[in-house]
Structure 1
Amino acid sequence: MASYDDRDGFIWMDGKLVEWRGANVHILTHALHYASAVFEGERCYSGKIFKGTEHSERLIHSGKLLDMDIPFTVAEIDAAKAQVLKANGLTDAYVRAIAYRGAGEEMGVASLANPVRLAIACWTWGAYYGDAKFKGAKLDISKWKRPSPETIPSEAKAAGLYMICTMSKHAAMAKGCSDAMMFDYRGYVAEATGANIFFVKDGEVHTPKADCFLNGITRQTVIGMLKDMQVKVHERHILPEELESFEQCWLTGTAAEVTPVGEIGPYNFEVGELTRRVATEYEKLVRA
């Protein structure tokens, strides 16, 4: 696999297509030093981005939460994503849009005089967890916790919020795991490093209340699917000691799609009928 900075193709940057290898920013770009960036991960299926407009809307909302007014409308962002997919000849792809504070007059913490930039790239990307999508992922339990919304803009898909996720996933991979589950600052079950989490018990679904982590678009989609399937969904605080009682588990996210979980630390789960059904129905939905 070629390095992400050494590929053929085009990346959309601030209104124009740039050759992939030339899509660069200055070393004093504010986002590089202070994490003043927000982004979106999206999947395109058979030429259509699943809920692309919702992702564009969330990108703008995330920017506002970081005092960044992205200088493009939702319609312009949607059009740019279509343009970059066409330029790269892709119909099934992962799409990454990132808005960030660029280099400008300021290089301290304050950056209001610096321009807000927007770039969009796309590439082919298979199953995020590899064969775990079929046999069940193995998760570590992270030592890092999702922080209080009083300390971070937890509604934003902001680059800086993923620092502890990267460290948690590295620690998990060192143990032979695919990912890590994180608790929140109160000790409740929260999410994985880049995906939301669901559990099954007695035919009903339980998922952590999204009050201090990102309420994922895929998470919301799956909750809607379950309700249409007449499956009762409980969005609530989940205590660590409850993990032993759950029978099934899966993760959701744009990259993860619907991925079953077989293990979380000492706890085991079956890849059961409901998990398989949700994964199958989600696959049908995104390709409809």
Structure 2
Amino acid sequence: MAGYDDRDGVIWLDGELVPWRDANVHILSHAMHYASSVFEGERAYNGKIFKSREHSERLIASADALDMPMPYSVDDIEAAKEETLKASGLQDAYVRVLVWRGSGEDMGVASARNPVRMAIAVWPWGAYYGDAKMQGAKLDIAEWKRPSPETIPVHAKAAGLYMICTISKHKAEAKGCSDALFMDYNGYVAEATGANVFFVKDGEVHTPLADCFLNGITRQTVIQMLKDKGVNVIERRIKPEEMADFEQCWLTGTAAEVTPVGQIGDYTFEVGDLTREIASDYETLVRA
């Protein structure tokens, strides 16, 4: 497949659809130098974006957290996504909405006089972890930790927060792993580089408390699905050594959907009945 900068199609950019290859920004865009950008990753199924409005609401909240006043409302964003998805001609697709500080009068750390811009791109994207979607992903344990809420706006879906994710995933892939699992700043289990994590023990589900990382929309969806099935879900701080006693594990995320995990470091898990059931139920839900 061609690189992401060299494709046919259109991208929504600042209020209009432009040819894909022409959707460019200036090299002195503030976001390129200071990570002043936020984004949403969404999936469309059968021509409809799953939980689209929730993603648009979170986008605005993330922009607010980075002191970037949005020039578009939730309704504006929804209309723009619908227009872009329709123009793509795709029914099942990944939708990326990006908001950033562009180039303007400011080029230092401060950027209040620079415009806030938005773009939307849509493309086909299969299983995020490839064959691991069925067989169970293998995860490395990252050297970096998720930061304290006192150091950075951890609940924003901000580009800058993914710097250690890129580093950690590169190292994981070099070891033959699909991803890496982070601990938090206190040493408790946190999340993968772009997905939340769940564990199963004795019929109950345990998942890290989302107090220093993004409380994913897919995470919230799966928790509610489990509760509706009568499964006890415990959100708490999980010590790394507890992974030795967990029976099953899976990841959740818009890109990852529900992906079983077979191994994290030296800890192994079965791709069990509950994992397969919740993955199947999620697939049914998003296509309903």
Does the alignment reach a TM-score above 0.5? yes
**In structure 1, what is the equivalent of residue 195 of structure 2?**
195
**In structure 2, what is the equivalent of residue 71 of structure 1?**
71
> Are 1:259 and 2:283 matched, yes or no?
no
- Equivalent position amino acid for 2:121 in 1: A
> Are 1:221 and 2:202 matched, yes or no?
no
Runs of at least 5 residues in structure 2 that lack an aligned partner in the other structure: none
User: What's the CA shift for 1:104?
Assistant: 0.3
In structure 2, C-alpha distance between the alignment counterparts of 1:246 and 1:59, rounded to whole Å: 34
**Superposed counterparts of 1:170-189, under 5 Å:** 170-189=170-189
In structure 2, C-alpha distance between the alignment counterparts of 1:243 and 1:107, rounded to whole Å: 46
User: What's the CA shift for 1:70?
Assistant: 1.1
**Superposed counterparts of 1:67-106, under 5 Å:** 67-106=67-106
- Equivalent position amino acid for 2:74 in 1: V
In structure 2, C-alpha distance between the alignment counterparts of 1:160 and 1:281, rounded to whole Å: 33
Q: How many residue pairs align between the two structures? A: 288
SS at match of 1:285: helix
Deviating 4+ runs (over 3 angstroms): none
In structure 2, C-alpha distance between the alignment counterparts of 1:88 and 1:50, rounded to whole Å: 17
Deviations 1:189-244 (CA, angstroms, capped at 9, x unpaired): 00000000000000000000000000000000000000000000000000011010
In structure 2, C-alpha distance between the alignment counterparts of 1:135 and 1:42, rounded to whole Å: 24
User: What's the CA shift for 1:139?
Assistant: 0.2
SS at match of 2:274: helix
- Equivalent position amino acid for 1:231 in 2: V
In structure 1, C-alpha distance between the alignment counterparts of 2:172 and 2:242, rounded to whole Å: 22
- Equivalent position amino acid for 1:189 in 2: V
- Equivalent position amino acid for 1:212 in 2: C
**In structure 1, what is the equivalent of residue 13 of structure 2?**
13
In structure 2, C-alpha distance between the alignment counterparts of 1:44 and 1:119, rounded to whole Å: 17
**Superposed counterparts of 1:1-288, under 5 Å:** 1-288=1-288
In structure 2, C-alpha distance between the alignment counterparts of 1:125 and 1:159, rounded to whole Å: 20
User: What's the CA shift for 1:91?
Assistant: 1.2
SS at match of 2:227: helix
SS at match of 1:82: helix
TM-score w.r.t. length of structure 1 = 1.00
SS at match of 1:118: strand
TM-score w.r.t. length of structure 2 = 1.00
SS at match of 1:100: strand
SS at match of 2:83: helix
SS at match of 1:125: coil
In structure 1, C-alpha distance between the alignment counterparts of 2:9 and 2:78, rounded to whole Å: 19
SS at match of 1:160: helix
In structure 2, C-alpha distance between the alignment counterparts of 1:4 and 1:19, rounded to whole Å: 13
Deviations 1:99-156 (CA, angstroms, capped at 9, x unpaired): 0000000000000000000000000000000010000000000000000010010110
My pick for the range that moved more, 251-260 or 76-85, is 76-85
User: What's the CA shift for 1:96?
Assistant: 0.1
In structure 1, C-alpha distance between the alignment counterparts of 2:14 and 2:22, rounded to whole Å: 14
SS at match of 2:252: strand
SS at match of 1:57: helix
